[in-house]
Amino acid sequence: LELGKSYSLRWMLGTSVNEKFDCHPGPNASKGKCEELGCVWTEDTSSPGVPFCYYNGSDNPYSVADVIYTSSGVTANLTFNKKNLRAYEKSTLPISTLRLEVKYHNNHMLQFKIYDYANKRYEVPVPLNLPKSPESTAENRLYDVTVQNKPFGIQVRRRSTGTVIWDSQLPTFTFSDMFIQISTRLASQYLYGFGETEHSTFRHDMNWHTWGMFTRDQPPGYKLNSYGFQPFYMSLEEDGNAHGVLLLNSNAMDVTFQPTPALTYRTVGGILDFYMVLGPTPELVVQEYTALIGRPVMPPYWALGFQLCRYGYENDTEIAKLVEDMRAARIPYDVQYADIDYMERQLDFTLNPRFTGLPALIKKIRAEGMRFILILDPAISGNETNYPAFTRGLEKDVFIKWPNSNDIIYAKLYRAYVAFPDFFRNSTTEWWTREITEVYANPHNASRSLEFDGLWIDMNEPASFVNGAVGGCRNQQLNSPPYVPQLGFRSEGLIFKTLCMEGQQYLPDGSPVSHYDVHNLY
């Protein structure tokens, strides 16, 4: 009760700059639009990035009922209060049948999940390494959890110090079909992680910055979403203890940091499924996190050596001369690559006539103690009249198609119209494995076998040289949803340099899913 009084008093006394949570995170905010949302407009230029439009008061549109605490977690139902309808909720009707589940997986890890219990929504189809049954005990848990009401929130406290490491009792929480938002106060200003975007410092600048996450063929650039997708952060608390938080959500999203300190997540689909590990050291946070998601593959020793790669080799003779020149210059040199130059017309699983000596060169290089890596793109040309990889892909039905159709979605890469394999399908795994195997050990002509040591996959965001598809996309709402996260080239929607979001894919169990949901897993 005292916490609640203090919280309400803060809002009644007026909102300090650091307590302003953005009520209109989309583009083109204005005083009129802001007030239409029931929010406050103040043009504060004291610090770059302070939102002009911010929430008026502490309430969020959900109340809590049926809270049940057990030895293994907490459950509660969340009910939407229609009088609190706001902008982005109007564009996609708020979901009023939400359930909160908190699970104490073990003494140093918990999960809190918010989902629609009445209607199944997309959830990330990536298995995590969770205990078969709860392994925590009340006396040994590193954390305590409280479900808060009026407004709804979740509070997680480190038991040993009393430090609050998650506190989402804030006005921002909303859960619609295509716009989900939740904020939390943070234990300190010391925050690391999220990606892949270029940051100016390793520790995040908490002064009103928003970073988008959506995989894209984008060289590093300030605030430009790039190749990877990592919705995880580590925080150092003021006393040096550390914890980590994963949001298991693969939809396009952004995160806003503010000096409160606080963090706001916005995602355009799926559910909210958070996993928190409590360390308490940074090393233990990393160990606990990778135990959850799977350890990184141990690289072979040679892969730690000096490697040389570039685009633009004219033929295998140029590579052979380069190898000799590097040795003559006594430059440390362990691995040589071949870019798309070695392929015939940039076609996967082929050999350019100018590189017919490459198989023998690879054998020679390997015999002398070096290693060789080939590039491989996921895009498969559909332009060819005799291209076995494409023909066999059609036979195996491996390519992403338009929804409710047998027609392949064609993007463009280099000079070709290309199809993208759906790597969730078991048939795709079988087909892909065969194509790679026949490059390594050519069943028709052993002299054309490329006995590589590793493959470098490229353009697998997936990348396209046209936005969406040749001829355009068909589903405006998926490609330009009501809220487009703060990505580079935001005005282009989600399809900038990639595939249409309505592309139909199939999970291993056969259930359909749209590229909109699984793009970041490609």
pLDDT at 9 over 60: no
Considering the domain architecture, whether residues 350 and 497 belong to the same structural domain is answered as yes
Considering the domain architecture, whether residues 325 and 289 belong to the same structural domain is answered as no
Identify whether 116 is part of a domain: no
* pLDDT at residue number 114: 98
* pLDDT at residue number 86: 57
Identify whether 12 is part of a domain: no
DSSP assignment of 277-320: E--SSHHHHHHHHHHHH-PPPPPPGGGGS-EE--S---SHHHHH
* pLDDT at residue number 89: 47
Query: Rounded to an integer, what is the distance from CA 127 to the centroid of its chain?
Result: 15
- Mean pLDDT, to the nearest integer, of 1-27? 68
pLDDT at 13 over 50: no
* pLDDT at residue number 81: 82
- We report the CATH number of the domain holding residue 355 as 3.20.20.80
Identify whether 61 is part of a domain: no
- Return the DSSP state at 223: T
pLDDT at 23 over 90: yes
Q: Give the Cβ contact number of residue 79 at 10 Å.
A: 15
* pLDDT at residue number 362: 98
- By percentage, how much of the chain surpasses pLDDT 70? 95
pLDDT digits (tens, 9 = 90+) for 68-84: 999 999 999 999 987 65
Name residue 76's beta-bridge partners: 100
Residues 6+ apart with CB under 8 A from 372: 335, 336, 337, 338, 362, 365, 366, 451, 452, 453
Cα distances from 167 to residues 67, 303, 310, 504, in angstroms, run: 17, 43, 48, 38
pLDDT digits (tens, 9 = 90+) for 475-494: 999 999 999 999 999 999 99
Considering the domain architecture, whether residues 319 and 394 belong to the same structural domain is answered as yes
Q: Compute the chain's Rg from CA coordinates.
A: 26
Identify whether 316 is part of a domain: yes
- We report the CATH number of the domain holding residue 154 as 2.60.40.1760
- Mean pLDDT, to the nearest integer, of 229-241? 98
Considering the domain architecture, whether residues 368 and 284 belong to the same structural domain is answered as no
Tell me the average pLDDT of the chain: 93
* pLDDT at residue number 92: 64
* pLDDT at residue number 146: 98
pLDDT at 11 over 70: no
Domain C-terminal end among 250, 266, 293:
293
Q: Who wins on pLDDT, 59 or 396?
A: 396
Identify whether 239 is part of a domain: yes
- We report the CATH number of the domain holding residue 21 as 4.10.110.10
pLDDT at 15 over 80: no
Q: Is 250 helix (H, G, I), strand (E, B) or coil?
A: coil
Q: Is 180 helix (H, G, I), strand (E, B) or coil?
A: strand
* pLDDT at residue number 5: 43
pLDDT digits (tens, 9 = 90+) for 282-323: 999 999 999 999 999 999 999 999 999 999 999 999 999 999
- Mean pLDDT, to the nearest integer, of 104-120? 97
Which pair of structure tokens corresponds to residue 485?
């996260």
Considering the domain architecture, whether residues 372 and 349 belong to the same structural domain is answered as yes
pLDDT band at 151 (very low <50, low <70, confident <90, very high): confident
pLDDT band at 10 (very low <50, low <70, confident <90, very high): very low
pLDDT at 90 over 80: no
Cα separation of 504 and 522, whole Å? 13
Helix (H) or strand (E) run with residue 394 in it? helix 388-396
* pLDDT at residue number 6: 44
Considering the domain architecture, whether residues 171 and 23 belong to the same structural domain is answered as no
Total domains present in the chain: 3
Considering the domain architecture, whether residues 352 and 269 belong to the same structural domain is answered as no
Domain C-terminal end among 6, 25, 54:
54
pLDDT at 107 over 90: yes
Query: Taking the model in full, what pTM does it have?
Result: 0.93
Scanning the structure block, which residue is given the tokens 């229609």?
Answer: 82
Identify whether 361 is part of a domain: yes
Identify whether 113 is part of a domain: no
Cα separation of 31 and 53, whole Å? 8
pLDDT at 445 over 80: yes
* pLDDT at residue number 1: 39
Considering the domain architecture, whether residues 185 and 39 belong to the same structural domain is answered as no
Residues 6+ apart with CB under 8 A from 55: 20, 21, 23, 39, 40, 171, 172
- By percentage, how much of the chain surpasses pLDDT 90? 88
* pLDDT at residue number 84: 58
Considering the domain architecture, whether residues 461 and 346 belong to the same structural domain is answered as yes
Considering the domain architecture, whether residues 278 and 309 belong to the same structural domain is answered as no
Structural domain harbouring 381: 301-521
Identify whether 94 is part of a domain: no
Q: Give the Cβ contact number of residue 163 at 10 Å.
A: 16
